Chain A
């Protein structure tokens, strides 16, 4: 097992290098640079800056050097933990992303928990009562969750939270806790706000998982050993939970590793709409303003996360399914 993991990790390294190059290229694609877009922004709000003032800044940030040199600066820094500088916020990118990463993970984990807690039982129930009305309606509801664009759900959630619940709209904290230090009341406050984005982000994933679980269960329930267990007189609940679910859940576990990175990237749009203090809106703004190190680092981080998630999924599968371990 250990050698397997190490081998996979080593294989990741060349992939990472190529990913970093591709990321850099993608981020550099838009014409112009941060200061061009800044100048236009300033011009619109009628403040004006001297072109040459920006030239001085450009030199400071090496923006006048050839692309490959800029890449090397950046990647050299990355390896040492310095992911570049954000022009807009004038802070190291590592600080900016790091500050928001915690909440991003909390939110994604929350969605993950929500998805599992909701989808698995419903999937099992649906499989046991297949082709009944409840099965059809649950499937239908699942489909709806899959088919409404998540930003529409987010908009509706915003509306509800402002106009029905009158709560502090958007964001993850009420005004009084927002800038306060962490404390138990603050955690409660966070949970009170967190459920909205968690549900919105988790909706599509829950739907998929529901159906997957259902299919998986149906598949297992048809197997010979289940019939045998029943024939032997085991209680139905025992059969379902001890045997069927245990096997049916395997494919789900394998996707769990992938789910976190997918949730993180899937949460971007919802976070933008709801104005959450997570990494998504920061990324969006970085794209808008061509704050290239911020955008590039974030993209690369997500790619790395996805690769690690894949790895985790494979490992989990190997752990859970004894048949694979024997290979």
Chain B
């Protein structure tokens, strides 16, 4: 016991924060979940049984098919049933299991080619043998017969990274401008302050909508991805700039800064060695909370067809199908991307909360 106390009493600021953080179970779980999510993004090509545009001609709107262990003749390795179709009296196509056709789950199966770090490969973590008609539809298929799980995994690439990249841009912009404004004061400060005020005067969602509507329709996918990221990060940097500026203002009058200046340290050195570390904690907290906001914003914009547009996929684009009353009534599984959004956003929020608690020396 006393050892721990000793450790705590001599620990630096960061170590204290880490200890505190470690105690928050929920945050740890969230952290793990997020790490897994991002790993999933990197390896989506391997994890997804199919490519995002692999269409199965006669398998539109297949409900989620699980894997089965038991068949009429006892226990098997996990397998998926083949499907047979029939049409009901409203014209809707329904799918039944064909007990005679079984596709066994394979590990490290061969499937659609995808690229990874510049290499082309057709290896997948799991799958079934490639057939023309049937597929492994763990989460069902969409209107064009594409596997939902695969599309969710590929959609994660955009949904998860837009938040990160957007926040990175915001952080850089916000930190630089906030520090400059707080440290140098004078007309620089006035100018930045005014700009921040202007931007903050605009309500976010309508501004995002208006700017997204301005993206010309003929730009290619990469460009439009970056434009949307820019738009999202535009409003993020303002609050960060204000917080940073506030902190810098208060730190500026601290003795150690004066001491450094008296000792002849250049502005650059003061900023980078002294001010920014002091502000870093705040930045991390704000950034962590900003990511889910951006993820939600991107999904809302894409849902409205203002953000990422087909044929690119993101979770918001996938949810566009939900606008269709037929989907809501018959094919509810197509709303599953919302679950992924919720989990991601929840995790970031828990994490951000935990960071905030950890960094704050006053709470127990």
A residues touching B (Cβ–Cβ < 8 Å)? 15, 18-19, 22, 26-27, 29-31, 143-144, 146-152, 155, 158-159, 162-163, 261-262, 264-266, 268-269, 272-273, 283-284, 287-288, 295, 298-299, 302-303, 305-307
Contact = CB atoms under 8 A, between A and B. Distances in A.
A29 B211 contact: yes
A15 B205 contact: no
A283 B214 CA distance: 14
Contacts of A295: 210
Interface stretch (B91-99, B243-251, B321-329): B321-329
A273 B323 contact: yes
B339 to A, nearest CB: 9
Contact of B201 (A262, A268, A303): A303
CB-CB nearest 10 A-B residue pairs: A29-B214, A265-B203, A147-B345, A287-B213, A152-B338, A159-B328, A302-B203, A30-B214, A147-B346, A303-B201
Given A147-B349, A152-B335, A18 B198 contact: yes
A19 B205 contact: no
Contact of B205 (A26, A143, A265, A273): A265
B63 interface: no
A149 B300 contact: yes
A89 to B, nearest CB: 18
A144 B206 contact: no
Interface of B: 197-198, 200-207, 209-211, 213-214, 216, 292, 296, 299-300, 303-304, 306, 319, 322-323, 325, 328-329, 335, 338, 341-342, 345-346, 349-350
B201 A155 contact: no
Nearest to A211: B353
B206 A283 contact: yes
Given A147-B341, A302-B206, A305-B203, 17 more contacts: A19-B201, A19-B202, A22-B198, A22-B202, A27-B210, A29-B214, A144-B342, A144-B346, A148-B338, A149-B341, A151-B300, A158-B328, A162-B325, A265-B205, A283-B206, A283-B209, A287-B209
Given A19-B201, A155-B323, A26 B207 contact: yes
Contacts of A283: 206, 209
A265 B328 CA distance: 26
B166 to A, nearest CB: 17
10 contacts: A15-B198, A147-B341, A148-B338, A151-B319, A152-B322, A262-B203, A269-B303, A298-B206, A302-B206, A303-B203
A238 B282 CA distance: 37
Given A22-B198, A284-B304, A268 B335 contact: no
Contact of A151 (B198, B200, B292, B303): B303
A288 B213 contact: yes
A186 to B, nearest CB: 27
Contacts of B322: 152, 155
B299 A149 contact: yes
A298 B207 CA distance: 11
B328 A15 contact: no
Nearest to A296: B210
Contacts of B202: 19, 22, 299, 302-303, 306
Interface centre among B206, B303, B304, B341 (most CB of A within 10 A): B206
Contacts of A288: 213
Given A26-B210, A148-B338, A284-B209, A159 B329 contact: yes
Given A15-B197, A149-B299, A299 B216 contact: no
B198 A19 contact: yes
Nearest to B319: A152
B201 A307 contact: yes
Nearest to A29: B214
A163 B330 CA distance: 11
B203 A306 contact: yes
A147 B353 CA distance: 14
